[in-house]
């Protein structure tokens, strides 16, 4: 395990130290290097206050200097295309409503580290002395793959409820286990997640959903009860039978689909929401369950959930459209007319490819024969769409010269002489011997025909 510091960063560190400031690599930059993973964001802690950081970065001709997190004392910049985030040592206090941390800068790296969320994120690397500072044995927890709060979990989660979501996010993304007392802390403080701004919650949910096995994040949120505050709409699907007497519930189907969906944010949200309205639409008819219209109700629920989380309108529209249409491909029993296929393509619009991808992930049956049949049906539908689109393209092909242009070319009035010329030109275009926009060559050919 070793910490590597790129040359550009060593130069930045030298400038800080020349001016009498400390310079520590912290957070993900240390954690990920100790895990032998690539670093894509260089977090730094310093005792220089933000104005001094700005002065130094300008002096070093850093690019894209910004004070995005100025409230938290963070200055961002890039060097050689890599992102640097410099935060002044913090000793944060939180207002009772937990929305906004109030920063007061502290004097030491030890106090800074004690304010960080988890032991694995509270390791610093002194760039000048080239030594690790690890007061909470973060390296031990990295080796044992454990997420453990720094200090007393309940008070740390009480201070900043976002840490509860971060705990789950890190656990799922790194495949670590959350230590028992930390889990208990989440359970004790879960209702405070309700105080977070929707944007911050959504940002964490997105990161969880993009993990390799996002179902683990959902499971952890259900176990700890966080789900009640971020996405309670999921709860009715738990233990709700799919088929009478079956063991499988709708919740486990949703989780399975979620993991089978490729890591695209829109698709992952669609997976989470596609059957969300099955509980309220379930009816028993002749001993079997039907979920008539669940995709229509589901699209409405999707809208409510995503709006509440303050996603941009375009994203909300797109995901709820996926939910609304997610049954169309599985419902194709091969009896669709060409018109029905065209209508589907028109309705799907920009969602078409994602709907096919999703239909594939939504196929969770155990019966191998059925799986093959469904795959076959989807392929046939795909092929029909390609064929119909090609036919529509062909139908649009015209000869390079139309009747009016031919009349102009030969100074002759309309008459039966036109059709054979147009037919010949069209034939040449279809055979690929004449470009549909090559009017010059078309005129030459037309003259030859007339002279014959």
Residue 192 touching ligand ATP (CB under 6 A): no
**Residue facing ligand ATP at closest CB distance:** 28
Residue 332's binding partner, choosing from Mg ion, ligand ATP, none, with beta-carbon cut-off 5 to 8 A by kind? none
Residue 27 touching ligand ATP (CB under 6 A): yes
What does the per-residue mask of binding to Mg ion show for 287-306, with x meaning CB under 5 A?
--------------------
Residue 274 touching ligand ATP (CB under 6 A): no
Residue 116 touching ligand ATP (CB under 6 A): yes
Nearest approach, Cβ of 27 to Mg ion (angstroms)?
5
Nearest approach, Cβ of 165 to Mg ion (angstroms)?
15
Nearest approach, Cβ of 63 to ligand ATP (angstroms)?
19
Residue 389's binding partner, choosing from ligand ATP, Mg ion, none, with beta-carbon cut-off 5 to 8 A by kind? none
Residue 40 touching Mg ion (CB under 5 A): no
The residue (of 117 and 179) whose beta carbon lies closer to ligand ATP is 117
Contact between residue 133 and residue 123 where contact means Cβ atoms under 8 Å apart? yes
Nearest approach, Cβ of 128 to Mg ion (angstroms)?
21
With CB under 6 A as the contact rule, which of the stretches 114-122, 181-189, 198-206, 266-274 interacts with ligand ATP? Answer: 114-122
With CB under 6 A as the contact rule, which of the stretches 6-14, 160-168, 296-304, 314-322 interacts with ligand ATP? Answer: 160-168
The residue (of 27 and 73) whose beta carbon lies closer to Mg ion is 27
With CB under 5 A as the contact rule, which of the stretches 17-25, 40-48, 149-157, 421-429 interacts with Mg ion? Answer: 40-48
Contact between residue 321 and residue 350 where contact means Cβ atoms under 8 Å apart? no
Residue 162's binding partner, choosing from Mg ion, ligand ATP, none, with beta-carbon cut-off 5 to 8 A by kind? ligand ATP
How far is residue 19's CA from residue 1's CA, in Å, rounded to a whole number? 30
| Among positions 4, 40, 41, 232, the unique one binding Mg ion when judged by CB under 5 A | 41
Nearest approach, Cβ of 86 to ligand ATP (angstroms)?
11
Nearest approach, Cβ of 144 to Mg ion (angstroms)?
22
The residue (of 134 and 275) whose beta carbon lies closer to Mg ion is 134
Contact between residue 289 and residue 243 where contact means Cβ atoms under 8 Å apart? yes
Residue 425's binding partner, choosing from Mg ion, ligand ATP, none, with beta-carbon cut-off 5 to 8 A by kind? none
How far is residue 374's CA from residue 359's CA, in Å, rounded to a whole number? 9
Both tokens of residue 147? Answer: 């997420």
With CB under 5 A as the contact rule, which of the stretches 23-31, 124-132, 167-175, 310-318 interacts with Mg ion? Answer: 23-31
Residue 163's binding partner, choosing from ligand ATP, Mg ion, none, with beta-carbon cut-off 5 to 8 A by kind? ligand ATP
- Match 């509270």 to its residue by tokens: 122
Contact between residue 117 and residue 178 where contact means Cβ atoms under 8 Å apart? no
Q: Which residues bind ligand ATP (CB under 6 A)?
A: 27-28, 41, 43, 116-117, 121-122, 160, 162-163
């Amino acid at each position: 395990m070793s910490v590597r510091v790129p040359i550009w960063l060593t130069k930045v560190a030298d400038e800080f130290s020349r001016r009498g400031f400390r310079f520590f690599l912290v957070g993900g930059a240390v954690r990920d290097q100790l895990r032998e993973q690539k670093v894509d964001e260089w977090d730094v802690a310093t005792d220089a206050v933000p104005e001094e950081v700005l002065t130094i970065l300008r002096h070093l001709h850093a690019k894209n200097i910004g004070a995005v997190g100025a409230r938290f004392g963070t200055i961002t910049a890039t060097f050689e295309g890599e992102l640097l985030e410099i935060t002044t040592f913090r000793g944060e206090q939180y207002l009772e409503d937990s929305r906004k941390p109030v920063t007061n800068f502290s004097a030491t790296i030890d106090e800074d580290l004690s304010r960080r969320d988890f032991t694995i994120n509270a390791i610093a690397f002194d760039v000048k002395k080239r030594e690790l500072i690890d007061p909470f044995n973060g390296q031990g927890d990295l080796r044992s793959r454990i997420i453990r709060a720094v200090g007393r979990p309940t008070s740390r989660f009480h201070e900043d409820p976002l840490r509860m979501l971060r705990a789950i996010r890190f656990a799922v993304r790194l495949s670590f286990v959350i230590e028992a007392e930390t889990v208990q802390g989440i359970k004790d403080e879960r209702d405070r997640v309700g105080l977070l701004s929707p944007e911050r919650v959504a940002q964490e949910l997105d990161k969880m959903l993009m993990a390799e096995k996002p179902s683990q994040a959902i499971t952890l949120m259900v176990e700890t009860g966080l789900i009640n505050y971020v996405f309670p709409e999921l709860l009715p699907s738990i233990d709700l039978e799919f088929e009478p007497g079956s063991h499988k519930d709708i919740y486990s189907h949703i989780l399975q689909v979620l993991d089978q969906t490729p890591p695209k944010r829109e698709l992952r949200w669609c997976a989470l929401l596609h059957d969300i309205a099955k509980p309220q639409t379930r009816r028993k008819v002749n001993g079997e369950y039907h979920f008539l219209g669940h995709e229509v109700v589901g699209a409405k629920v999707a809208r409510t959930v995503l709006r509440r989380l303050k996603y941009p309108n375009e994203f909300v529209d797109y995901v709820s459209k996926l939910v609304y249409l997610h049954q169309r491909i599985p419902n194709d029993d091969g009896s669709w007319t060409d018109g029905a296929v065209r209508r589907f393509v028109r309705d799907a619009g920009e969602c078409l490819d994602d709907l096919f991808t999703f239909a594939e992930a939504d196929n969770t049956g155990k019966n191998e024969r059925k799986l093959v049949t469904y795959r076959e049906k989807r392929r046939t539908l795909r092929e029909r769409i390609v064929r119909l689109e090609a036919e529509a393209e062909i139908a649009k092909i015209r000869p390079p010269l139309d009747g009016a242009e031919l009349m102009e070319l030969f100074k002759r009035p309309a008459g039966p002489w036109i059709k054979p010329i147009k037919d010949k030109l069209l034939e040449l275009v279809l055979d690929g011997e004449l470009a549909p926009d090559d009017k010059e060559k078309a005129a030459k050919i037309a003259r030859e025909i007339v002279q014959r």
